[in-house]
Structure 1
């Protein structure tokens, strides 16, 4: 029988399916940040939050004296709808790489559903971002301070804060569900895996937990961005693809920077052509990431379907004009949709959201390789771990650990791994979202579900929007979620209901013979691998042939899966043995060569020894001859 927490999570799914009308994607940082550094956004939330600061320890994983240093971690809380006495749930947002107020202002989905659950709402800020600086203004000073910035420490922060808060609020019975989008979605998923005793479920939106090593093709992100523009207009895609060559050609002129500055209407003369290149690059990438079907003001104020609007600008310009000027006109939509900017500041922006810590994380553990293929609308590029490591070493004095995330949280064979021990997780992705390629796109089990939309961005954590498109998308999603919730509930409660009714039916039947509990059990497949599964059935249920057959089928599936895993282990072991054997043969060959050299040297020494013996015998004869002659001449000892 399922646990109480599982029922709570299924009920939550059902209510979400009834209440949600339209949900979209949330931002995950890559290497693009400057567009966020240009303009500070309005960060007012739909409901009031109280700001608190929690005394958090610096290092959760060592017991050195300096690890006990305390810093104050910011979190926001709203108990407006919380039914504390009734055990109302606690919804926790696992903070991203930025000021938590920014995410609270742009995560309306949680605010929309809070009244339905009478839940407590908490937004926790990530260490080293916003106001949660362990070393104050010196937090980014060097690797000695930044060394405490990583995902494992952040997850431990959340766990400690949640436990302490529940204890202080006397709400130990309140179940916790974690939410997150983008990097925060990755943290939410990992938190459920690492701390299942604290959170009963996780909702992870646009969480590319598979964007590491070679799990996902390296070109997938930029291929997805390019496909979004190609779907909107093939001409638009070709214009943007050809604009980079024109920018490079223009920059080679003696007055190239002056011309580029004039074309891009910069507030100040550019110092580098790469500033213009990055400005265009970021506009197209970010627009693909926030290609919502309604107007939005998350990254920048943008119209509905901004990718399509960009392409309309390009397609509407006269043919034969410069591709670079057309690309600039399209990118201006991202930076100046409100038509309030008279010039553009491409260099020297300020970090209004506190995102600079992501550079450190990308250079240490969050190593997500990305390339641009020939099919991309961006210039072809490659990725080299060696060059990337050199850049990080130069910038921070540290080398990346590209395999650490998959070691700590997993990633390979995720379907098999999570199916074995994971539960109560929702991964939402929209295939127009470039980050979707690195997310979980298929259902793993009845309680680990992937919600995927093909035409729009993902079901996300932003607020409900109005409009016909939103209602149509919401109706479709609502129906899917209702069906999923009903099926999941039947899967959980169906067997218990079935056996309950069957037991009552057996009791009601007058002609049924009493069960003989002393009968010996028939030979079962369970004896093939004892201890692999516990299928004990009380009240003589073990003698029910139908139940026995059903249980053995389940056991066969489990045994087959175990054999497949063992086969994979054996293959890996055989591969390791082959490598060891080849290495042993190589060493044996080297030892044989050395032995042959020793034998040859020994033979040479033996010949020399024999010659020395002969010479020694001759010398002894000569010595004896001279000794006799000396004695004859009168020499005495």
Structure 2
């Protein structure tokens, strides 16, 4: 009854609230985990050629529900095709929790591999993301058909049809981040359809309370060395200062001005406070997750902001005390992403994520990804660990409560725990037994914590020191570290073995 009353009150508040979705939500930046590859290494003529080569969208007819033989409804799933027009070898990039970008059909490491074998390159967009809309909207009734299991059957149906169409004898699949998980799971469920899988930055262990995320963030920030002191110590000091200022009206006014907050702080709104701390931590989480990779996410915004950048600010005593430095990092992010002020109101965020229309901001992927975390994966980056610099300011309850507030009161912590257990039981978590898979991770990337980083008897793992999320998938750059160069080479050698 208390949960129902809370939901009714929240609904009334949301009706009166404007809306926003955080720039970095549950580890997912806007656009999805895998950004577009950087093109700054190309000259003008090469850029023109790349854009002229972009393939047009095509559509493939899929079943809405692969698990109900009585349900005959279908929908159109978007895909892109490039490289060779005919081949006995198919390379398939698995789409994830964002819009499929045709730039990946002309750029990226997998394209270089494809050239060696004259492969046809196919990129399949994930159901419910981008322009692949199986239902009229993302209401709870309709979004129930969004799951990794349905996505795997989409992929199986698609690959089977394309193998027949091309008379293909060999298929290699590629995925980065959540699609990296799908690539590994596909080898479990449909080993007879593919000859190898490249699984990059893939979390294989579903986990409600992903405390290890911020532990890796702390370790990664510790790689920055400067005479100004510890980056993590400065972050902790700033968070302590914020906690102290929140206790008085004068302090809250000071925080609003320093961090350019869009709204006044109501200290009685505990979820607002947790959301504020989480938002400010997100300034560092996103930088660590994508540190020095070769992506061009959101038109290149933020790609030049690295651990060196934010920790350089946090350890520069000439900029003021730790609180002022923390605020300066936030101002840098606001400027970089062209935002006038820092949003943190919980009711605004929930209002956006409850919007079911395909035309809404939430349909970019925030609502869908939140649903998948509530019903399959968890992966909530809480502040519950002792080994992280952001204090205990956004605990696991803050994250699990959102599932109820966005979707339904039945989506409580017990429901999420059962869903996560079901996922691990179905896919085996890190107890992986299939062969012809390579797991590639970067040790800077927090997501490697849930992946396979040590080789198994039947599957090789590559942990690349000093690299971040999906780094090996992006086009090579002259300043790539030697370990990254070697990782790409090793993956290429494995693909050659699988295609023999």
- Native 8 Å contact 2:246 2:252 kept in 1: yes
Q: Which runs of 5+ in 1 are unaligned?
A: 1-28, 494-637
Cα pair distance change 1:273/1:262, threshold 3 Å: farther
Asked if the contact 2:440/2:463 (under 8 Å) is kept, the reply is: yes
Higher relative contact order (CA 8 A, sep 6+): 2
Aligned residues of 1:295 and 1:301 also touching (Cα < 8 A): no
For residues 278-297 of structure 1, what are the alpha-carbon distances to aligned partners after superposition, in whole Å with 9 as ceiling and x for unaligned?
A: 33111111111001266854
2:369 aligns to what? 358
Which runs of no fewer than 5 residues in structure 2 stay unpaired? Answer: 1-23, 40-49, 267-271, 353-360
- Please state whether the residue corresponding to 1:228 is helix, strand or coil: helix
Q: Separation in 2 of the partners of 1:95 and 1:343? A: 32
Counterpart for residue 608 of structure 1: none
Of 448, 462, 484, the match for 1:451: 462
CA contact (8 A) 1:35 1:282 kept: no
Q: What secondary structure, in the 3-state scheme, does the structure 2 residue paired with 1:365 have? A: helix
Which structure carries more strand by proportion? Answer: 2
Alpha-carbon distance in structure 2 between the residues aligned to 1:280 and 1:254: 20
CA contact (8 A) 2:465 2:483 kept: no
Provide the rounded CA distance (Å) in 1 between the counterparts of 2:402 and 2:467.
Answer: 36
Task: Tell me, yes or no, if structure 1 residue 221 matches structure 2 residue 213.
Answer: yes
Contact 2:206–2:420 (Cα < 8 Å) also in 1: no
**Following TM superposition, by how much is the alpha carbon of 1:118 offset from its aligned partner in structure 2, in angstroms?**
1.4
Partner of 2:96: 96
Q: Which has the higher helix share?
A: 1
The answer to whether the 8 A contact 1:295-1:304 is kept is no
Mapping of 1:418-429 within 5 angstroms?
418=433, 422-429=434-441
**Aligned residue for 1:173?**
168
Change in 2 beyond 3 A, CA 1:147/1:296:
closer
The RMSD of aligned alpha carbons is 3.7
Aligned to 1:437: 449
Q: 1:58 and 2:69 equivalent?
A: no
Q: What TM-score comes out, normalization by structure 1 length?
A: 0.60
Q: How does 1:199-598 map to 2 (within 5 A)?
A: 199-212=194-207, 218-233=210-225, 234-266=229-261, 272-292=272-292, 296-297=296-297, 301-302=301-302, 306-318=306-318, 321-337=320-336, 341=338, 343-346=340-343, 350-351=361-362, 353-368=364-379, 370-371=381-382, 372-380=384-392, 392-397=403-408, 398=410, 399-400=415-416, 401-411=419-429, 413-414=431-432, 418=433, 422-445=434-457, 448-457=459-468, 460-467=471-478, 469-470=479-480, 472-477=482-487
**2:75 corresponds to 1:71:** yes
Q: What is the CA distance between 1:305 and its match in structure 2?
A: 7.1
1:67-146 correspondence runs (5 A): 67-78=71-82, 81-82=83-84, 84=86, 86-87=87-88, 89-101=89-101, 104=104, 108-136=108-136, 138=137, 140-142=138-140, 144-146=141-143
Q: How many residues align?
A: 434
1:239 alignment partner, SS class: helix
8 A contact 1:292–1:456 mirrored in 2: yes
Shift of 1:103: 8.1
Work out whether residues 83 and 118 of structure 1, in 8 Å CA contact, stay in contact via their aligned partners in 2. no
